[in-house]
Amino acid sequence: MRITTRLRITSTVTVVALVILAPMLIWSFSEFKNAKNDYLLADTIKVNFFERASFRDQYFLYREERARLLWEKNKETADQLLHQANSQFHREQDRLNLERLCKSIEDTAVIFRRIVNNTEILKTAAGNRQVYQELDKRLYSQLLMKAGAVRDMATSLQDASARRIQLSYEYMTIIVGVFAFTLALTTILTSIQLDRLIRRRLEPLHDGAKIVADGDLDYRIRCGGTDEFAELALSINYMTESLQASAKQLEAEITERKQVDDKLARAHAELEQFTRIAAHHLQEPARRLVSFAQRLQSRLPTEQLNEDAIASLHFIEQGAARQSALVRDIQLYLAADQPRSTMETVAVTAAIAGLLEHRATLMRETGAQVDYNDAPSVYIDRPRLKDIFSILLDNALCYRHPKLTPHIRISGEAKAGRVIYRVADNGVGIPAEYRERVFGVFERLQVNDDQNSTGIGLAIVRRIIESCGGSVTIQETPGGGTTVLFDLPA
C-alpha cells in the first residue's frame, strides 16, 4: 500500500470521526448555551423575588405608599420576566415549575393587594378595627407562605438549569475526549506503521545508494512493491544507468582527449624544436651578413667606397640585424604562454632596476627619468616578467616625444589577489582607434626602419599576461602619452 493511501485513510478516519462527533458537539454546545441562559433568567427571577419581598416587608412595617409603588413596579418586572421565561423554557418539568411559579406570584399579588386594601379600611375603621387587624395578620401569613412557594419554584428552575449546564459540559468533555482519543490513536497507529515501513523499505535504498556513491555503477537496487519507495528505487536505478552511460562516454572522451593532448604535446614539442632549429638557421645567415658587411667596410680602402657602397653596406647590416631581432621576437611570442623558469614571487622593483642598468647609455643620451619605487611583487617566472617590462620600457623610449624629456612612471596596486600595474609615459601616444590593433602580430603605427621595432612586442606582452589570467589595455596618459594597464597574480 502506498504511503499516500495510508495517509488518506488516516485523514478519512479523522474526518469521519469529526463528522460523527461534530453534530453531537454542536448540540452539546447549544444545550450548554440554552441551559446557561435559562439559569441566568431563573437567577434574575429569584433576585426579583427578593427585591419584591423587601418592598413587601417595608410596606407591612411602615405602610408607606412609596414601598407599595416600588412593589407594583417590581411586579411588572416579574411579569415581563415570566413572559420571557414562558417563551424560553421548553422542558416539561421546567414548564410545570414555571406554571406553579406564575400561579404563586399571582396569588402573592392578590394577597398583597388585599393587605393594601385592608390598610385603607383600617384608616377609617372604628368598632371593627380589631377584626381588620387580625385579618391583616392572617393575610400577611398567607403572603409569606406563597412567597416561600415562589422562592422554591424559582430555586427549582435555577437548580434544573444548573444541572443541565453541568450535564452539557460533561457531554462536551466526553465528545472532545473521544475525538482527541480517536485522533491520537489513529495518529499513533499510523506513525508506528509508517515508522516500521520506512525503516524496512528505506534500508535497501540507503545501502544501495551508498554502494552507488562508492563507485559501483553496476549495482541495481532490488525493491519490490508499488509504493513510493519502489518508485524511488526505480529512479535511483535509472539515475545509476544514466551515470554509468555518462561515465562510459566520459571515459571514452577522456581517452580520446588524452590521445589528442598527447598528439598536441608531441606536436608542440616538435614545433618548439623546429622553432629553435629554424631560429638558429635563420639567424646564422643574418649574422654572416653583418660580419661580411663589417669586414668589407673595414678592409676596403675608403677611396674605393663611394656613398652608394657605404649606404648599401649599412642597409645590409641593418637588415640583417632586424632579421635577427625578428626571429628572436618570434621565438619569444611562441614561448610566451609557458613559464621559462620556476614560478615564484618576484620583486618587480629589482627586475626593473636590472633592466635600466642595461639601458644606462640610452637613458643618459635621452635624459629619460623612470619612477618605479611603488611597484608591488608578483607571482610569475622571472624571464617573462622581464620580457613584459623590457618591451614596455623600450616602446616608451623608442616612441618618445621629440620635444619632451622622456618620463616613465611605473606603479602598482594590490587588489583581490591581483596586482594592477600602470606603465605611463609622456611620448607621442597612440590614437584611440589603434589601441587594440597594436596588440596584433606585426602591427606597427609607424613604418620606419630607424626604429628598432619588429611589431611583435605588444603581442608578446598580451600573450604573457593572458596566460597568467590577466588582461592588458591601453589608455591615454593625462597631458599626453601612453599608459599601459595590466594585471598579474600577487
Express each pLDDT in 55-88 by its tens digit.
Answer: 988 888 888 899 989 999 999 999 999 999 999 9
pTM for the model: 0.48
Q: Is the pLDDT of residue 300 over 70?
A: no
* Domain definitions of the chain by residue range: 3-198, 339-489
Give CB contacts under 8 A, 24+ apart, made by 84-91: 84/41, 85/41, 85/42, 85/45, 85/157, 88/37, 88/38, 88/41, 89/38, 89/157, 91/160
Average pLDDT over residues 198-204: 78
Q: Is the pLDDT of residue 470 over 90?
A: yes
Nearest partner of 352 among 332, 330, 329, 377, judged by Cα: 377
CATH of 339-489, one of 3.40.50.920, 3.20.20.70, 3.60.150.10, 3.30.565.10: 3.30.565.10
Of 267 and 406, the one with more pLDDT: 406
At position 365, the amino acid (one-letter code) is E
b/e per residue 136-167 (b: at least 16 CB within 10 A) = beebbebbbebbebbbebbbbbbebbbebbee
Max distance between CA atoms of the chain, in angstroms, equals 194
- Specify the fold of 3-198: de novo design (two linked rop proteins) (1.20.1440)
d(CA 396, CA 407): 9
Does residue 398 come out as left (phi exceeding 0), alpha (psi in the -120 to 50 range) or beta?
alpha
The domains spanning 3-198 and 339-489 adopt the same CATH topology: no
Average pLDDT over residues 198-219: 81
Nearest partner of 332 among 260, 374, 272, 376, judged by Cα: 272
Nearest partner of 374 among 429, 425, 426, 423, judged by Cα: 423
| Angle in degrees, 0-180, between the axes of helices 129-213 and 92-124, rounded to the nearest 10 | 150
What is the chain's percent helix, strand, coil content, to nearest 5? 75, 10, 20
pLDDT, tens digit (0-9, with 9 covering 90-100), for 73-126: 999 999 999 999 999 988 888 889 889 889 989 989 998 888 888 888 777 765
Report the pLDDT value the prediction gives residue 449, as an integer from 0 to 100.
44
Alpha helices (H) in 63-91, listed in sequence order: 65-88
Q: How far is CA 42 from CA 6, 49, 190, in A?
A: 53, 10, 50
pLDDT, tens digit (0-9, with 9 covering 90-100), for 312-336: 777 777 777 777 777 777 878 888 8
Q: What is the DSSP letter of 422?
A: E
Report the pLDDT value the prediction gives residue 90, as an integer from 0 to 100.
85
Q: Is the pLDDT of residue 138 over 70?
A: yes
Report the pLDDT value the prediction gives residue 21, as an integer from 0 to 100.
79
- Tell me the pLDDT band of 28, cut-offs 50, 70 and 90: confident
Q: How far is CA 2 from CA 70, 111, 145, 230, in A?
A: 78, 82, 77, 10
* All three cell numbers of 466: 593572458
Q: Is the pLDDT of residue 136 over 70?
A: yes
- Rounded to 10 degrees, the C-alpha dihedral 450/451/454/457 comes to 170
Q: Is the pLDDT of residue 346 over 50?
A: yes
Q: Is the pLDDT of residue 339 over 60?
A: yes
Report the pLDDT value the prediction gives residue 412, as an integer from 0 to 100.
94
Report the pLDDT value the prediction gives residue 164, as an integer from 0 to 100.
87
